[in-house]
Amino acid sequence: MPSTHKVAIVTGGSRGIGSAIARQLAKDGHAVVVNYAGDAASARAVVADIESRGGRAIALQADVSKEEDVLRLFRETDAQLGAPTVLVNNGGITGGFSRVDEADARMLAQVFGVNVVGAFLCCREAVRRMSIRHGGRGGAIVNVSSRAAEIGGGGEWVHYAATKGALNTLTTGLAREVALEGIRVNAVAAGLIETELHAAAGKPDRAARMAPGIPMGRAGLPEEVAQSVAWLVSPSAGYVTAAIVAVAGGR
């Protein structure tokens, strides 16, 4: 089995915040697994960019809401790069804009399946490999949450906000569960970030329209979230666990 000192899995790593995280971690010396659900071309482009800068990366397809896909994702990571030392649970979907009284069960199952069940499954597999209790050498997990968990998402996506609230609870609980097992677990709560997420949800002008209401007067950049993730997995954050770091311009 290959053994690379620092191996990071970034779910949803082909676009937006995820691709920025993958590039930043590669820059910091991690071999990176760029996970994607369906956009193979974008994932390959991120890998190619990392390799062009001297880094190491592979693209692996997996729908994290499916247990068999998550198992395959981790098995292939083990085989190609070695056991992961970092997991970034970035993969997520919004389910589109909807009031609660317009939501349907199928959409809710999809959003909670990817955003919550997927994160749990990935955390489970990461802990099994990282924990000194299981013979691992420790590691770090970062969950990409959202300020929507606190704000609530009323009128747009309460369903999405609720999944991020669950992710925050997972972060706090798991951090305390594995604190003596060599694993730190934290989250970044992203605010209004300039990505294609808004267009994918049906409102391409959302970031520009909402930016004046941010205390800092602008939407954030994916790279700003990525830099916070990179700090949380680094030795500089060695005494930081169970933290939910807002990257939201004061929102």
* DSSP H or E stretch at residue 174: helix 158-177
Residue 166 lies inside a defined structural domain of this protein: yes
**Distance of alpha carbon 153 from alpha carbon 99, whole angstroms:** 9
Domain contains 2: no
Confidence of residue 202 (pLDDT cuts 50, 70, 90): low
pLDDT surpassing 90 at residue 225 = yes
Positive/negative CA dihedral, 104, 109, 114, 119 = positive
Question: Reduced to 3 states, what is the DSSP secondary structure of residue 7?
Answer: strand
Range of the domain at 168: 7-247
Between 177 and 199, the higher pLDDT residue: 177
- Position 228 scores a pLDDT of 98
Domain containing residue 82: CATH number: 3.40.50.720
- 201 — pLDDT class (breaks 50, 70, 90): low
**Would you state the pLDDT for residue 1?**
40
Domain assignment present for residue 93? The answer is yes
Question: pLDDT for 22-38, tens place per residue?
Answer: 999 999 999 999 999 99
Residue 73 pLDDT greater than 80, yes or no: yes
Tens digit of pLDDT for each residue in 117-171?
999 999 999 999 999 999 999 999 999 999 999 999 999 999 999 999 999 999 9
**How many folded domains does the chain comprise?**
1
Looking at residue 35, what is its pLDDT?
98
Burial of 56 (0-12, 13-18, 19+ CB in 10 A): middle
- Residues that are catalytic: 160
Q: How far is CA 111 from CA 92, 100, 124, 133, 209, in A?
A: 8, 14, 19, 32, 25
Classify residue 1: in a domain, yes or no.
no
Question: Can you give the pLDDT at residue 145?
Answer: 98
4 vs 182, residue with greater confidence: 182
